[in-house]
Structure 1
Amino acid sequence: MEPDQFKKILTRYADGLANEEEKQLIAAWYDSYDQENEAAVFSDSLEEELIRKEMQQAILNHRNPPEIRKFSFRQYYKYAAVLAIAIAAVFLGKPFLKKPVKPNSEQDFRVIETYAGEYKKVTLEDLTVIQMNPGTRLRIPLQFAKLKDRTVYMDQGLAFFEVAKDPHHPFVVHSGQIKTLVLGTKFALSTEKATLTEVSVSEGKVRVSNGTQVLDDLIPGKKLRYNSKNEQWKVSNFAIREHNVWFQKVINLNHASFNELAKIIAINYGVKIRSGNKHTATYVYNLQIRSTRSLTETLKIICSVHQNKYRRTGNEIVIY
């Protein structure tokens, strides 16, 4: 029998597919080894030995197949999910990997500022008009028109608001600790970085709160002054005609101290005023500061109140 033919018989025998004649042939071949007699199926002993070893190995492989390590996808699901998110982020503009934007960061606002001697009139998208005095800083949300509440932030300065009526979208001004809520009205707001905030109303009604409680509901002719240092406030009367100065660019000083006068001059003219003696520092002033006047004209008026003189050195003015 040809070796190739006998190999095929061995393969069928190992796979359990051999017929009776082939099974008998294989059995006779095994018996020949047990009885140490040569089988007549091979003419060459070396060839027979080679076939015998191949057959044994084939049978062993069939009976004891090598262990196939099973691969489980379950333990990799979590890694696959993370990878899927990362890939999606790359192709979809990285929405999962972007850092959250702070709601109150500068990039969310349009910042409007006025400097020494500068006045500005700002009209918002809802047609609300804001008259800004020198030294005022406002922040208007870029999404102002889409917000449920029309919100504005006033960091410092002095401004007059003519709020367009819209009962469904209240108008809110945040200034330090103070929150001013209106539906449609005219009011003035002044705030200093240090402690003081003042709200005065000439038309309509506004609600003033400090974040923890409602301080008062102001009506025309009423003003509220709040000190954030001690959280105390006071409501008093004022003449509504005082608000007319916003359209004339006029600041009224009523019993203003020398320090208050100095602040107004610094805001309007960008110069520093200081007292040249102990008496000047105690003076109070009742006068109007008009932006249409030159600094020299204004200084002459200031000095005329208490018969003072002044001298100027660079950006500093001394009243004595």
Structure 2
Amino acid sequence: MTQKEFQKLLEKQRQGSLNKAEENLLEEFVNRLQQNQKHRRIDPGDDHKKRIRKQIDQAIDAHRHQRRLLNSKVLAYVSGIAAVLCISFFAFRYFSVEYTSVTTGKGEQRSLVMSDGSKIWLNANSSLTYPVNFNENRNLQLTGEAFFEVFRDEQHPFTIKTGAVRTTVLGTSFNINSYDPASPVVSVRSGKVKVEHTNTGAKVYLVKNQELVFENANSPVTTTGNLQDIMLWMQKTIVLNNTSLLKTATVLENSYDVKIDFADPSIKELRITGKFHDEPLETVLQSIALINHLKIDTLSQNHFMIRKNAP
């Protein structure tokens, strides 16, 4: 969010014309301003700055007592001179943070070694945004899927935001799949992570071999088992475990940079199980057709249609 966009949202809030999406965006931004305050050292320097600091602390204390109501949150910052100073001070510091992004196309994967020593593998059709000064600010934004090996630093927690879900760790290895933003999946290979849903307040702690998915973005469901298959995408292996053809098509589209359509919507709910290690797309499609008695039409080099096979 730019400073201009932030000011525009504040003005719309004052006028009572915010829509639901804008309310959520402003609520999230105010929370992030608080988080930045917690991890930064502030040197007042003179009496004026000391007064500002005192006013900031008073505004934050008032805000914390009303944290569940967006209007109360924002009003705690914008009512009175102290609140105006608070917003101006925090916004200046926030907007001064530089961010960079890494994006992969369909059929592409990338690995990163961060400045703090953490390692990240980014799956196809995914993006990762993080601060340039990563050693001091380890807050990332993920779209798609990535696997993380996090360097432990108790002074700077490692946080990944995927839609309305926030995952926080100190040092561990885990996978996040957020191709479906409504139902992100967090899978832990080692260590311990905290997963929070910022809209519902749900909070779950996961340890080794535990996996969590927010069904319909509300109810967290945790399972335990051997999760090695979850990470096989880093070895160019596609794992299907009673997976619907609709979800399978999405996996193949991301992995091979193709388009897959269905001639009959009922086909989408058929299921398939199997592993395909660095196989040509034609081999995978032939297996799908054989198992489910289907036919694959090639519409172009990168466009396929799945239909029922005539009896």
Category of TM-score, reference length = shorter chain: 0.5 to 0.7
Distance (whole Å) between structure 2 residues aligned to residue 242 and residue 204 of structure 1: 18
2:305 paired with 1:318: yes
2:285 paired with 1:299: yes
Q: Using a 3 Å threshold, how does the CA distance of structure 1 residues 141 and 309 change in structure 2: closer, same or farther? A: same
Secondary structure, in 3 states, of the residue corresponding to 1:115? coil
Asked whether the equivalents of residues 114 and 120 of structure 1 are also in contact (C-alpha less than 8 Å), the reply is: yes
* Residue 131 (structure 1) aligned to one of 100, 110, 121: 121
Following superposition, the deviation at residue 171 of structure 1 comes to 1.1
Following superposition, the deviation at residue 194 of structure 1 comes to 4.2
Asked whether the equivalents of residues 175 and 231 of structure 2 are also in contact (C-alpha less than 8 Å), the reply is: no
Distance (whole Å) between structure 2 residues aligned to residue 106 and residue 318 of structure 1: 49
Distance (whole Å) between structure 1 residues aligned to residue 182 and residue 236 of structure 2: 25
Partner of 2:108: 118
2:129 paired with 1:146: no
Gaps of 5+ in 2: 1-89
Distance (whole Å) between structure 1 residues aligned to residue 234 and residue 139 of structure 2: 24
Q: Using a 3 Å threshold, how does the CA distance of structure 1 residues 295 and 170 change in structure 2: closer, same or farther? A: same
Q: Using a 3 Å threshold, how does the CA distance of structure 1 residues 195 and 102 change in structure 2: closer, same or farther? A: farther
Gaps of 5+ in 1: 1-99
Asked whether the equivalents of residues 230 and 239 of structure 2 are also in contact (C-alpha less than 8 Å), the reply is: no
Higher Rg: 1
Q: Using a 3 Å threshold, how does the CA distance of structure 1 residues 186 and 280 change in structure 2: closer, same or farther? A: same
Aligned length: 218
TM-score, L = length of structure 1: 0.62
Moved more, 281-290 or 128-137: 281-290
Amino acid at match of 1:122: L
Over 6 Å off, 4+ runs: 100-107
- Alignment deviations for residues 122-168 of structure 1 (CA, whole Å, 9 cap, x no partner): 11111111111101110011121122xx21111x2111111112233
Asked whether the equivalents of residues 183 and 217 of structure 2 are also in contact (C-alpha less than 8 Å), the reply is: no
- Alignment deviations for residues 171-207 of structure 1 (CA, whole Å, 9 cap, x no partner): 1111111111111111000113641211010100001
- Alignment deviations for residues 48-84 of structure 1 (CA, whole Å, 9 cap, x no partner): xxxxxxxxxxxxxxxxxxxxxxxxxxxxxxxxxxxxx
Asked whether the equivalents of residues 147 and 231 of structure 2 are also in contact (C-alpha less than 8 Å), the reply is: no
Asked whether the equivalents of residues 161 and 186 of structure 1 are also in contact (C-alpha less than 8 Å), the reply is: yes
Q: Using a 3 Å threshold, how does the CA distance of structure 1 residues 280 and 204 change in structure 2: closer, same or farther? A: same
Secondary structure, in 3 states, of the residue corresponding to 2:293? coil
Distance (whole Å) between structure 2 residues aligned to residue 259 and residue 110 of structure 1: 33
Q: What does 1:54-73 correspond to in 2, within 5 Å?
A: none
Following superposition, the deviation at residue 261 of structure 1 comes to 0.8
Amino acid at match of 1:299: L
CA RMSD of aligned residues (A): 2.7
Asked whether the equivalents of residues 110 and 123 of structure 2 are also in contact (C-alpha less than 8 Å), the reply is: yes
Following superposition, the deviation at residue 282 of structure 1 comes to 3.0
Residue identity over aligned pairs, in percent, reads: 25
Distance (whole Å) between structure 2 residues aligned to residue 187 and residue 269 of structure 1: 24
Asked whether the equivalents of residues 187 and 209 of structure 2 are also in contact (C-alpha less than 8 Å), the reply is: yes
Distance (whole Å) between structure 2 residues aligned to residue 257 and residue 114 of structure 1: 25
Distance (whole Å) between structure 2 residues aligned to residue 277 and residue 284 of structure 1: 15
Partner of 2:203: 215
Asked whether the equivalents of residues 135 and 157 of structure 1 are also in contact (C-alpha less than 8 Å), the reply is: yes
Asked whether the equivalents of residues 122 and 145 of structure 2 are also in contact (C-alpha less than 8 Å), the reply is: yes
Secondary structure, in 3 states, of the residue corresponding to 2:211? strand
Distance (whole Å) between structure 2 residues aligned to residue 243 and residue 194 of structure 1: 18
Partner of 2:294: 308
2:199 paired with 1:224: no
Q: Using a 3 Å threshold, how does the CA distance of structure 1 residues 230 and 200 change in structure 2: closer, same or farther? A: closer
* Residue 188 (structure 1) aligned to one of 147, 170, 175: 175
Asked whether the equivalents of residues 134 and 268 of structure 1 are also in contact (C-alpha less than 8 Å), the reply is: yes
Q: Using a 3 Å threshold, how does the CA distance of structure 1 residues 274 and 247 change in structure 2: closer, same or farther? A: closer
Q: What does 1:37-186 correspond to in 2, within 5 Å?
A: 108-147=98-137, 150-154=138-142, 156-186=143-173
Secondary structure, in 3 states, of the residue corresponding to 2:195? strand
Secondary structure, in 3 states, of the residue corresponding to 1:267? helix
Distance (whole Å) between structure 2 residues aligned to residue 105 and residue 256 of structure 1: 43
Following superposition, the deviation at residue 169 of structure 1 comes to 2.1
* Residue 285 (structure 1) aligned to one of 272, 287, 293: 272
Distance (whole Å) between structure 2 residues aligned to residue 250 and residue 214 of structure 1: 33
